[in-house]
Every structure is written in C-alpha cells, then in structure tokens.
Amino acid sequence: MENILKAELLKNSEAILKKAHDLSPSYQSAMRNAQLHFDSLGIPSKKNEDWKYTSIAKNLAPRFYDQQESIIHDLPKNIIDQRGMIIFNNGIFNKFLSVLPAGVELDALCIEANFYDTFDSLNFGVALSPLSLKVLKNTVLDFPISIIHLVDDVGVNKIISPRLTITTHENSKVSFLEFFTSTSKNKLQYTTNAVTKFNLLPNSQIEHVKIQSEASEAVHIGLTEARVDRDAIFKSMTLDYGNLTARHNINILLNQAGAQTSVHGLYALKNSEHTDVFSTITHVAPHTTSEQLFKGILAGSSHGIFTGKIIINKDAQQSASSQLNKNLILSKMAHIDTRPQLLVHADDVKCSHGATVGQLSKDEEFYLESRGIPKEHARRMLCMGFGMDVILKIENLAIRKFAETMLIETFKSGALLN
C-alpha cells in the first residue's frame, strides 16, 4: 500500500513543479531534489520503529492542493491580536490578510538539502508558498503573533503543505500561537503536512504554542523544529485536542553552550482519535538544558503514543535534562504507548526521566464530592486540572487564556469523560 501511494504522490508532485514559476530556478531544483529524497525514503510502514504505532498510508489524501493563491477574504476567527497575524489558507500564505509587526520581516527563502524525515522532504517538494521570516535584533513584542492555518472546502481530499521558517536575531523575544483549524469542525477530509522551523540566533527567545484543532476527519502531520544557539531559549508547547489521526514530530537541537529548551505538551483524546507524539531533543553543546512535561488524557477508544528521545552527545558535558510523560486513562478501551528514551553519551550530566499511566484518584474525587460537587462535575474538574497543569506553563498570558478556553470547550462535549 505504501508503495502504490508513494508512486502516485511522486507523480503528482512532479506536476506541482510546473506551477512553481514564482519560485527561483535554484529553489525549484531544490524542490525536485526533495521529491527524489522522498522517493528514496518512501512512506513509512509500521515496520519502521519510529512509526510502529501509526499506519499513516491508509490515512493520507492522494493529491496535493495546487492553487497558488489564497482565496479567503475574511479574517479567520481565533486571532489573538491583530497587530501580528500570519494567515495560511489551505497551506498558501495570504499576504493580504497577514500583518507583520515592526521588527518582523520577510526573509530570503532557504534552499534546503537536509531534511528531518520523508514528510519534511515531501513538504519541501510541493510547498508552493513557502514563507521565511526574520525577527530583527532587539525586537521584543509584548503581544503574541498568531499563525493561523485554515483549511476550507477547497482543500478537501488534498494534502495541504504549509512551510514556515523563522529566524530570530540577537536579543529578540517573540511569542507565537500556531493554530491549525478548518472552516467547519466536521466532515472535512484532508491531510495537513506542515513544517515549521525556527533558527534561534544567540541570545534570542521564542515561545511557540502549537494547537492542533483540525477537522474531526482530518489527518495532521506536523514538524516543529528548532536550532538553538548560544544562550537562546526555545519554549515549545504542543496541544492536541484530537481529530482522526495526528502525528507531531518535534526536533530540537541545542547547538551551542547555554542553549535552553522546554518541550511541553498535552493530548486530550476521545472517541477513536489517534495522536502520535515523536519528540527528539539533542544536546549537542555543553551547558545546555532541556525540560519536558507531556501529559495525556485518553477517553473512549482513543490511542495515544508518546516517544520522547533525549540525546546527550559526548561533548555536551554539564548538561541537564528532565522528562516526564503522565497519562490519565478514563476508559477501559483507551490505550497509551509511552516510550521515554534517554541516550546519554557524556558522563557529567544531570538527567531524569519517567512515565506514568493512571486513573483519576478516588481521594481527589471524594474531596470534591465532599464539598458538594457532583461526581460527573468533579471528574470533569479533575481532568481539566490535569490538563491545566501543563497549560499553566505557557508564559504569554494571552495565549494561555486562549489555550485554557479551548480546553474548557473540549470538555463541554462530555465525550472526554468516559
């Protein structure tokens, strides 16, 4: 199945190149190289250790979205602050609706030759509207920039391929909310294959909160990648409120001394939703620190997967890393596979990691009930509290409020409770 689909995707991606005339010839040839790279790697089957729990081929749409213009004219909802918004519609950057604040500018596109995985190269090979931005030196924004990925009816049965690269220069500090959503919550079938990459130059800071809230029949594959230089700080949060199938690849490289990262997240799944988180944090340089708290709430017959690799290279002495994956299982049919993996090649480091899988605490339930709160309501409060614990780590208050509201909305349906 993987091979038939690969051949079809390859054929369709070649056709896409004909529409890439807005991009430079050298960029187009890099796209072609990326397609060939995809050809050599193919679509992973469950035999691939990294894809052991998710069979992705059966869920992929066969065609790419190939329009070059975004057609929406109205601002999507969910924008936190209109002083900073980057709008993608069906993977195409909408330059008319987007607003870049002072200090954030378009950057030259990078011609990439090294890819994280097959889906990164697939994305590069077909992304007709790649966007590169730079945050200028000393730019500190106190409001967040919203990056909205909106899919509408035109994107149905297509692969949507947004590609975004952001480079932050010295002493800058910016928060991003990256929100994946659709015009209608139900019935739209499509595949998002998104790539978002950050280059943090020395002493810059980024907070990135990704929220996956695609249509309930959609498939989401997304890469969040960051290269963190000297004394720079990358704070990442991945929130997944469920859809058909989602795969989050997170790849963080702590490249220079003093680089720091926090890579937190939450998946709250119900019905037959399936979310696969694959996170890799590599300590390349000495004196680097990483911190990770990923939580899962699993109801219905949902399936969550957490793979968290922490790699500490030989030269990364005096680095510190902590990792914890905690899961709350609310039904007998729900299922979690958790693989925390620590690969340490340096001897002078501080590391801790672990994973827990449990149910709601009877003592906590009784405590709330003994104060007059009925059982169902008490359970809902406890589940939300379990999730809020992660959301409270979001530093930007406007984004935190937004994430909190979404969590409350998700619980309103009640499907998350049993």
Partner 1 sequence: MIEIKNLHASIDANGETKEILKGINLSVKAGEVHAIMGPNGSGKSTLSKIIAGHPAFNVTEGSITFKINAKDRNLFELEADERAKSGIFLGFQYPVEIPGVTNFTFLHEAFNETCKFNGAPEMNASDFRKFLAPKLELLEMNESFLDRPVNTGFSGGEKKKNEILQMAVLNPRLALLDETDSGLDIDALKIVAKGVNALKSRYNATILVTHYQRLLDYIVPDHVHVLYQGQIIRSGGKELAFELEEKGYEWVIKEFEEKNLTRS
Which amino acid appears at position 2 of this protein?
E
Identify which of residues 358 and 367 has a Cβ nearer to partner 1 in the complex.
Answer: 367
Q: Least CB distance from residue 51 to partner 1, whole Å?
A: 32
How is residue 307 annotated by DSSP? E
Give contact residues for partner 1 (rule: CB under 8 A). 361-364, 366-375, 377-378, 381-382, 384-389, 392
Q: Rounded CA gap, 296 and 282, in Å? A: 23
- Which helix (H) or strand (E) covers residue 120, if one does? helix 118-126
Q: Least CB distance from residue 147 to partner 1, whole Å?
A: 27
Q: Rounded CA gap, 377 and 58, in Å? A: 38
Q: Rounded CA gap, 260 and 227, in Å? A: 11
Q: Least CB distance from residue 364 to partner 1, whole Å?
A: 5
Backbone dihedral angles phi then psi of residue 232, each to the nearest 5 degrees: -90, 155
Identify which of residues 30 and 390 has a Cβ nearer to partner 1 in the complex.
Answer: 390
Counts for the chain of helices (H) and strands (E), in that order = 6, 21
Identify which of residues 81 and 364 has a Cβ nearer to partner 1 in the complex.
Answer: 364
Identify which of residues 114 and 370 has a Cβ nearer to partner 1 in the complex.
Answer: 370
Q: Least CB distance from residue 359 to partner 1, whole Å?
A: 14
- Spatial contact of 235 and 204, defined as CB atoms under 8 Å apart: no
> What DSSP line would sit under 382-399, residue for residue?
HHHHHHHHHHTT--SHHH
Q: Least CB distance from residue 382 to partner 1, whole Å?
A: 7
Residues 6 or more apart whose Cβ sits within 8 Å of residue 17: 28, 31, 32, 35
Identify which of residues 68 and 366 has a Cβ nearer to partner 1 in the complex.
Answer: 366
Q: For the chain, give percent helix, strand, coil, nearest 5.
A: 25, 40, 40
Identify which of residues 194 and 330 has a Cβ nearer to partner 1 in the complex.
Answer: 330
Identify which of residues 315 and 376 has a Cβ nearer to partner 1 in the complex.
Answer: 376
Angle at 141 between CA 139 and CA 142, to 5 degrees: 150
Identify which of residues 49 and 363 has a Cβ nearer to partner 1 in the complex.
Answer: 363
Q: Least CB distance from residue 365 to partner 1, whole Å?
A: 9
Q: Rounded CA gap, 18 and 218, in Å? A: 27
Q: Least CB distance from residue 268 to partner 1, whole Å?
A: 13
Q: Rounded CA gap, 221 and 238, in Å? A: 13
Q: Least CB distance from residue 402 to partner 1, whole Å?
A: 17
